Structure formats: structure tokens, C-alpha cells
Amino acid sequence: MNSIPVRAYENQVKEGLFARARNVFWLAPMAGITDVCFRQLMDEMNAGVLISELVSAKGLFYNSEKTRKMMRVHPNGKSITGIQLFGESAEDIIQASELVEATGADFVDINLGCPVKKVVKKGCGAALLRDPAYLETFLSTIKRGIRIPLTVKMRTGWNEEELTIHECVQAAYNSGCEWVAIHGRTRAQGYEGKADWNLIAEVKANAKIPVIGNGDIRNAGQARKRLAESKVDAVMIGRGALRNPGIFNECIGSKTETSCLDIIRRYQKSLQEFYDTRYALIMLRKFSAWLAFGNPGAAKFRKSMFECLTSAEVMEKVEAFFQNEKPLPFNDNEEFMMGGHG
């Protein structure tokens, strides 16, 4: 798998926002995970593009403090950053985009993939895929109302009977979006089954807009294989980056240090920069427990994490547990985080 060459970047789209991507291996948005600290870490690990967790456009006005924190962007980033919004009203998204712009983010990404009931009930997330004509009006209104570039992330449709992906990609193109990221599952699938890369390739072959493929990429070899075989313009990696935060370095063949210890130390430094002591501790415990997944003694280690009362205690246990090893392989049939907002 590793022998498949990364397509030369010169062959990629040369215009618009896409041309500013650092490489063709991107971080997928993940709620509760791709906050400012995780994005900063992924920037250091050479992810091509960074996207925040989904942020409620309405929440920005009702629960401003907490929601605005979700949109923070680390300074001096090398990779471009998008803030992902969701909402049922184009006007709310236009207003929220003003705040996105003020964070220094490079673009606004609209979530058209969230399968969660609370979100689709309001006509947001994946519900917008059910009516491509309305989707075009919705996205065109947003596009006209904002100054920064607009992108979208979607699923392949509502269910097997409503595979609207071709029409929705056309709607995104007609509205002036910069690219479409496709998680190759329907809303009905949730996280079950496999992402449909044949369909992603078919959409790419017909699309007039850059297509980013997403779903079930668990290691660098698979990322390169999907890129080469489906001919998408870039790939997006979610859970694979959580299990192995060094995955983007491996994708581009960089020799940057990616031991678990080094990764956790970097992450802790970032947590100290952006959060208070209590929240930094919560995030550090969670992250260390994720990285331990699959290691012998992981269950005991995870339990011990939640008994730690300070970050220093966590780090002591981390140093003893990981002893410099690389993250373990993330196997194809392993179930890991089978739920999320896209």
C-alpha cells in the first residue's frame, strides 16, 4: 500500500481556497475533539486543512461564551482553518460568519451530514440533503451574505432510497462553494457498515468542484490508496487521527517525532495555553485514554486517568505507561467511536 505515490501537489486544483491547502490529507471535524488544542496539534503534525467541531449558529447568540470558545483559532498556524457551523436559517449562519471571520479562521464550513435527531429535527445537518433545490437556495443565500470562503461537508444522502449526493454536490457548485467533503455513508447508516468509496469516486468523476473523500481511513497507506483509486482531490481523516495523531506526518512521509509521549506532551502544552487548569485536566485525561486504546493494560490505565486530580499526576502516569511507543495500528474491523455529528 505504501508504494502508491502521493499524487503530485502540482496536479491538484490550483485556484481558490483549495490551492491554500498544505497538502491533500486533511483533518475531519469531530465534536468534542477538534477544538483549538487538537487543531494546533494537528497543525504541528502537518494536517493539510483543519476544521473545527460543529458550532451552532444560534448558540453563538444564546450561549455565546461557551460556543465562542469552540471557535478559537491558534495563532501562527501553517494549515488553513475552517469553522464548521450548523443551523436551519441562512440568516443565522450569515450573522455567525461575522464572528467566524473575527477569529482569524480562513473559511466557513457548513455541516450537511449530522445524523443526530436533535439536529435533523430542526431541518439542519443531514436533513438539508433531502431537498437539493432548497439546499441550493440556502447555500446561495449564505454565499451572498458572507465575505470569507464557503465549503460544505455532507453525507451521501438521507438513506439508500434517497441518495441525493450528485444533486447536492451540483447545488454546492452552483452556490459558489469552494469544495465538497463527502462522508461516504447515508444518514440512516449512522456509523454502521462501510463508507461507499465507489460512490465517492463516481461523484468525483462527475463533479465540477473539488471533492474531498472521507470515511474509514485508518492509516497512511489507506489514505494514499483511497486518494489514488477514487481520484478525489483530497482525503479527510477523523477517527484515524484520534487513534494516531501522527497519521498526517506518515501520509506525507515526514520524519517528525510521533511517539505517544511526544504527542501527549505537545497536547498538554497547548491545553495550558488555552484552558483553565480544571478543563485542561479533563481534556488531558480523555486524550491520554484514547491514545492508550488497544494497549495491554489500557482499561486499567483509563481508569487510573480518571482518578488523577492534576495534570502533573496524569503526565506521571502517561510517562510510565507509554514509554515512547508509537500509537498501535487501528485495525479495520475494530469498532471505535461509532457516533458523531457528521
Ligand X SMILES: Cc1cc2nc3c(=O)[nH]c(=O)nc-3n(C[C@H](O)[C@H](O)[C@H](O)COP(=O)(O)O)c2cc1C
Q: What is the binding site for ligand X (CB under 6 A)?
A: 28-31, 33, 53-54, 84, 111, 113, 153, 183, 214-217, 237-240, 337, 340-342
**Which amino acid makes up residue 303?**
K
Q: Which residue is nearest to ligand X (CB)?
A: 342
d(CA 109, CA 51): 8
Minimum CB–partner distance for residue 242 and ligand X (Å): 8
114 in active site: yes
Minimum CB–partner distance for residue 312 and ligand X (Å): 28
- Judged by CB, which is closer to ligand X: 29, or 327? 29
Query: What order of strands is seen across the sheet that includes strand 150-154?
Result: 25-27, 234-237, 211-214, 180-183, 150-154, 107-112, 80-86, 49-56
Minimum CB–partner distance for residue 158 and ligand X (Å): 16
Cell 494549515, residue?
A: 79
Give 10's contacts (C-beta < 8 A, 6+ positions apart): none
Minimum CB–partner distance for residue 220 and ligand X (Å): 13
**Bridge-based pairing state of the strands 150-154 and 107-112:** parallel
Q: Residue 67's CB: how many other CB atoms inside 10 A?
A: 18
E strands present in the chain: 25-27, 49-56, 80-86, 107-112, 150-154, 180-183, 211-214, 234-237
User: Strand pairing partners for 25?
Assistant: 235
d(CA 185, CA 196): 6
∠ at Cα 325 (319, 329), nearest 5°? 130
Q: Which of 37, 114, 177, 260 is catalytic?
A: 114
Tell me, rounded to whole angstroms, the distance of Cα 70 from its chain centroid.
14
Half-sphere exposure of 331 (CA within 13 A, CB side): 6
- Judged by CB, which is closer to ligand X: 54, or 291? 54
- Judged by CB, which is closer to ligand X: 153, or 187? 153
- Judged by CB, which is closer to ligand X: 92, or 216? 216
- Quick one: cell of 313? 499526576
- Judged by CB, which is closer to ligand X: 50, or 304? 50
Minimum CB–partner distance for residue 309 and ligand X (Å): 26
- Judged by CB, which is closer to ligand X: 221, or 257? 221
Active site residues: 114
